[in-house]
């Protein structure tokens, strides 16, 4: 079974929430699942897969500004802060650090529950490691 991992991180790139869906399912499913458990934030930065009007409206209702580029198939382009969007690399770095764990990188566990448990264990260690390291003084907080 192919799976897709959806994640929410804080401004420092520490993993906070995870949701796993089937690999062929749209990112909207992950967005809907994580929507109720989003932490208090000023901004949410996500990739094109999460571009939907209902998602943007739900974020606005929660007082969160969306920084999500529009899908290429959109009729009317969506404006977003390109400078702020560059900070999305933090979540990519978090996924890269998760994949440092061989069990996660190779999807060693075929059972989705066991795989998500391995991800949770690795994320706990990553959160602890990122918490003990200091940030550079010039990095601004967005959440």
CATH of the domain at 24: 3.30.420
The mean pLDDT of the chain is 87
Domain assignment of residue 46, yes or no: yes
Burial, 43: exposed, middle or buried (Cβ in 10 Å; 0-12, 13-18, 19+)? middle
Domain assignment of residue 13, yes or no: yes
Q: In the predicted model, is pLDDT for residue 31 greater than 70?
A: yes
Domain assignment of residue 88, yes or no: yes
Domain assignment of residue 140, yes or no: no
> What is the predicted pLDDT for the residue at 98?
93
Is residue 23 very low, low, confident or very high in pLDDT (cuts 50, 70, 90)?
Answer: confident
> What is the predicted pLDDT for the residue at 53?
94
Domain assignment of residue 83, yes or no: yes
Q: How many Å is the Cα radius of gyration of the chain? A: 16
Domains held by the chain: number: 1
> What is the predicted pLDDT for the residue at 132?
62
Alpha helices in the chain (DSSP H): 27-35, 53-61, 82-85, 89-98, 102-105, 112-132
Q: In the predicted model, is pLDDT for residue 58 greater than 90?
A: yes
Domain assignment of residue 93, yes or no: yes
CB 25 within 8 A of CB 12: no
Q: In the predicted model, is pLDDT for residue 129 greater than 70?
A: yes
CB 46 within 8 A of CB 78: no
């Amino acid at each position: 079974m192919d799976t897709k991992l959806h994640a929410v991180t804080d401004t420092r790139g520490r993993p906070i929430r995870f949701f796993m869906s089937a690999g062929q399912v749209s990112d909207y499913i992950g967005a809907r699942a994580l929507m109720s458990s989003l932490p208090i934030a000023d901004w949410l930065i996500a990739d094109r897969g999460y571009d939907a009007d209902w998602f943007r409206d739900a974020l606005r209702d929660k007082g969160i500004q969306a920084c999500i580029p529009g899908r290429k198939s959109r009729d009317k382009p969506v404006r977003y802060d390109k400078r702020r969007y560059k900070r999305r690399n933090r979540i990519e770095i978090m996924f890269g650090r998760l994949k440092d764990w061989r069990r996660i990188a190779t999807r060693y566990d075929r059972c989705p529950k066991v795989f998500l448990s391995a991800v949770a264990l690795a994320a706990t260690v990553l959160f602890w490691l990122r918490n003990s390291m200091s940030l550079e003084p010039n990095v601004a907080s967005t959440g």
